[in-house]
Structure 1
């Protein structure tokens, strides 16, 4: 099973490397794509805000043009005030004559420090027939403003100017964009054509020169730029048509990086956890399969050593039970074959009687039984065929083999198949358990008489001994039966019982 553990180790290393590579590739891919996505999103947002700004300024322009075209509104202060209330984006409406003198004002009017505005750029542009939106400047009331000016045309000539003032640090313009959210700290900023801030959620930034203005090129785009503190920020920008202003949407990278790092590290941790789970699953699987396999290998090794031991299938999973069943079936077959071989090894091939090896094994068992006091009685017959050598010499070995087979059949039929043993040559033994003296002698006489009739002129000499009557040990018992046989051989065709 060492190989499997090496496989698990290699699998763990590969999973770790895979997690690392996946983390690096994913991190790079994720950063690249999120950067591109955020820049694209900010650029689109800047375009949307730019169009909204154009719509709002068109609305203001239309309001100012309406005032410029309606003499009744221009001449009636009350009517001008009511009309001005309709457009909250315009903080002050100023009516100027052709010389720039202030004729009338409506809205958030402060005590004017000047009465003539002919020197202003927006008056100069409007008096020459242009509808004009100024850049950011500081008004006489020391506020940052943008002015929309429209010429008053009367009888085909320009008779004055209507100027609509939007205070940038007030609530009118801010109400358009303060509700716009871009992440946790993203924001909108609007720059005039000189790069000064027209709108910013931080009112203190309005009127200041933007740090990113010099990097803005083209009608729209997106870049990663640094702010005043040197930190990176996603900047999407779009130029406002007809104004040359810029709308910029800014999202600090720190906010995005925090969220992005959470996703990246969650992905990495998830990969690590999955890798660990795979490794643990592999270890569990190997243990689940290696332990039963080890047992099977141990059983096969025991089988190789000649120990036929079945396996309990209930100790194994379902996937192993068929294997165990086949193994146990094989063991059964091997036991049968082994027993057949064992028995064949104990059988004399010529006569079918048990051989000397089986006889010696029996003696060992009998000695153990005597030692355990479990053997009650035992009768032993030792037999020898008379004139067997002469038969072989005169009639040949085939005739001798036939005599041996006939005698074996006589002994088996008389004493039982499992009681007959051939020592070798023409010598036999018959061992009978729990037999009386009379029965033992009767069996010997039957064998002798049948032999006299069936052995073609040969006879049988027999010696008998009895346990425990004649001896208390097996060796002595065999010795006494042999001595009795010796006596029978002197006169032949005789049964002799050992007598002390």
Structure 2
């Protein structure tokens, strides 16, 4: 019953640790990864919308240039009206002569209060030969507008200006963005070079100074910022080419936090339910099998002292018969292998690990076990020390010997003394019976990480292969691990798991 109490206590400890991981580690990584993912997603979306805005502005520019190049369109009001309907983004098209006098207008005209535009910046820019896009300003009729102007060339001289006006609080510009969705409440905002809002789904914000404009730096990026309401937002932004405008894609953080909390609570409740079921099942199982298991554990512990004693299968229930049979078969082979190792002195004198001869003898035993179907699984790690030759050349062979000893100690402490073999030079092997893929990879990573910290500037590259997942042949298993090691050596300080290709 002592084993039962210990096992139950272990389960309780694991549950407590699991809860700690749920509420601390998982929570931390979830927030970090989710923030990074959403911010980078918003950044990419802002870049895409920025390119779309440039394309739409280019479309408007080409339309205005076409009007500027065609006398017939400029002089025929009916033709100008029909032509203006082709580009819905432009609310008003105005034809202006070289003195700034308005000659003709088309579109949503509401009794203009001025007849001359000579003093306007967009007229002055265009009359000097430049295509110009203005920032946000208020027209004489009180509308928030953006203006694009292009010069009219006639016989090589500038004869006037074509002006396209976009009313920001209308439907023209909104049609570019209103169909864009970013999460549940995400939206697009476009700011001019002074930080005034060109587009916002809330039309009351158009023409007002953006609270995040001063924090936008560079051509592309993402940040967590507070919006005009003081709430945190995920903001991805992209500067519009040649305009110094910014396109921002904004997603409220509140929705993400709600989803995160739901996931955490669901995971926690599920973990509690599963843990309770595991405890109940574990208690039932241990009560039924604790006695025979204790006997088996005692017998396995005796192996540490080199006592290879077989056990009587008649003392065990039927479901333990196969386990006892495998144990007794293993004991017989271990006795033979142990005697062979002692007789051949198969210990490497420098590192204390088994040498290549011991490894070969071990493989012979493994092959027999595979043939007898008594071996469930086998994992092999092949290791090679990175930068070992440089260490020997610069610090001397004594330093190299110390690195070999330290690595052997790390491997023994991690995988067990009977699992470590030295091939010679700076090459080693770790072989573990009946190990899961996850445990084998964990052992490899632990050796790599400890080596990086302890080997005087050297690291280890590791190749990993598994029986029977990768192959049923021991020789192939070593070859596969060696191929994985070769891949690790390319970048060094790496664990590579062998993956069998379709043509292997």
Classify the secondary structure of the residue corresponding to 1:250. Answer: strand
The answer as to whether partners of 2:4 and 2:287 remain within 8 angstroms in 1 is: no
Q: Are residues 1:86 and 2:86 paired?
A: yes
Q: CA deviation at 1:321?
A: 10
Classify the secondary structure of the residue corresponding to 1:86. Answer: coil
Q: CA deviation at 1:215?
A: 0.2
Q: Residue in 2 aligned with 1:258?
A: 258
Q: CA deviation at 1:289?
A: 3.5
Classify the secondary structure of the residue corresponding to 1:37. Answer: helix
Q: Residue in 2 aligned with 1:124?
A: 124
Please give the alpha-carbon distance, in whole angstroms, between the structure 1 residues aligned to 2:293 and 2:49.
72
The answer as to whether partners of 1:16 and 1:275 remain within 8 angstroms in 2 is: no
Please give the alpha-carbon distance, in whole angstroms, between the structure 1 residues aligned to 2:36 and 2:293.
56
Unpaired stretches in structure 1, ≥5 consecutive residues: 295-315, 323-500
Larger radius of gyration: 1
Q: Deviations over 1:293-323 (max 9, x none)?
A: 99xxxxxxxxxxxxxxxxxxxxx9854899x
Please give the alpha-carbon distance, in whole angstroms, between the structure 2 residues aligned to 1:284 and 1:55.
70
Q: Deviations over 1:90-144 (max 9, x none)?
A: 1100001111111000000101111111111111111111100000111122111
Q: Deviations over 1:29-60 (max 9, x none)?
A: 11111111111000000000000000000000
Q: Residue in 2 aligned with 1:475?
A: none
Classify the secondary structure of the residue corresponding to 1:78. Answer: helix
The answer as to whether partners of 2:22 and 2:264 remain within 8 angstroms in 1 is: no
Q: Classify 1:272/1:74 alpha carbon distance in 2 versus 1 (closer, same or farther; 3 Å).
A: same
Q: How many residue pairs align between the two structures? A: 302
Q: Residue in 2 aligned with 1:227?
A: 227
Q: Residue in 2 aligned with 1:274?
A: 274
Q: Residue in 1 aligned with 2:162?
A: 162
The answer as to whether partners of 2:4 and 2:283 remain within 8 angstroms in 1 is: no
Please give the alpha-carbon distance, in whole angstroms, between the structure 1 residues aligned to 2:174 and 2:98.
33
Please give the alpha-carbon distance, in whole angstroms, between the structure 2 residues aligned to 1:293 and 1:92.
89
Please give the alpha-carbon distance, in whole angstroms, between the structure 1 residues aligned to 2:231 and 2:112.
43
Please give the alpha-carbon distance, in whole angstroms, between the structure 2 residues aligned to 1:170 and 1:6.
74
Q: CA deviation at 1:276?
A: 2.1
Q: Residue in 2 aligned with 1:215?
A: 215
The answer as to whether partners of 1:74 and 1:80 remain within 8 angstroms in 2 is: yes
Q: Normalization by structure 2: what TM-score?
A: 0.57
Classify the secondary structure of the residue corresponding to 1:185. Answer: coil
The answer as to whether partners of 2:219 and 2:239 remain within 8 angstroms in 1 is: yes
Please give the alpha-carbon distance, in whole angstroms, between the structure 2 residues aligned to 1:221 and 1:180.
20
Please give the alpha-carbon distance, in whole angstroms, between the structure 1 residues aligned to 2:224 and 2:188.
15
Unpaired stretches in structure 2, ≥5 consecutive residues: 295-315, 323-504
Listed as ranges, the matches of 1:411-490 within 5 Å are none
The answer as to whether partners of 2:42 and 2:222 remain within 8 angstroms in 1 is: yes
Q: Are residues 1:53 and 2:57 paired?
A: no
Classify the secondary structure of the residue corresponding to 2:85. Answer: helix
Q: CA RMSD in A?
A: 2.2
Listed as ranges, the matches of 1:55-454 within 5 Å are 55-289=55-289, 319=319
Please give the alpha-carbon distance, in whole angstroms, between the structure 2 residues aligned to 1:123 and 1:236.
34
Q: Deviations over 1:457-487 (max 9, x none)?
A: xxxxxxxxxxxxxxxxxxxxxxxxxxxxxxx
Q: Residue in 1 aligned with 2:39?
A: 39
Please give the alpha-carbon distance, in whole angstroms, between the structure 2 residues aligned to 1:257 and 1:79.
56
Please give the alpha-carbon distance, in whole angstroms, between the structure 1 residues aligned to 2:139 and 2:273.
64
Moved over 3 A (4+): 287-294, 316-322
Classify the secondary structure of the residue corresponding to 2:164. Answer: strand
